Amino acid sequence: MKVLVDTSVWSLALRRKDTKEDSVIIHKLSQLIMDSMVVMIGPIRQEILSGISQEETFMSLKTKLEPYEDIKICSNDYETAAEFNNTCRRNGVQGSHTDFLICAVAHNYDLLIFTTDDDFANYAKFLPINLLN
């Protein structure tokens, strides 16, 4: 099964300094990359590249992400994201539009989600998504 890697994981691997705890996550990402299991969506790419003030750093990250072709997001994915948002809100769980789009794409394309963001564990209580352990 392919894996949709969330911004939180990419940030650990590409932008932050490696700590002992982070190295386990980075190793897992490296293994997924070597096994050609990683997929990307445009909103995650945008989040990774946003807020970088140095052009050289921006271009370096952009180049590192180029091998990962974006899954095409269509109207059905946005509709599913809205439905997921509504479901979670009814159950007292708040989230961002991007998070629910990630959930929708993962559900619609039968993908695992690899994230360090604890919000996804809350979403998974109410949504048909699968998180990579």
The residue among 34, 40, 53, 52 whose CA lies nearest residue 10 is: 40
Read off the pTM. Answer: 0.94
Mean of pLDDT values over 68-85 = 97
Task: Please name the helix (run of DSSP H) or strand (run of DSSP E) that holds residue 98, with its range, or none.
Answer: helix 97-108
pLDDT tens string 104-119 = 999 999 999 999 999 9
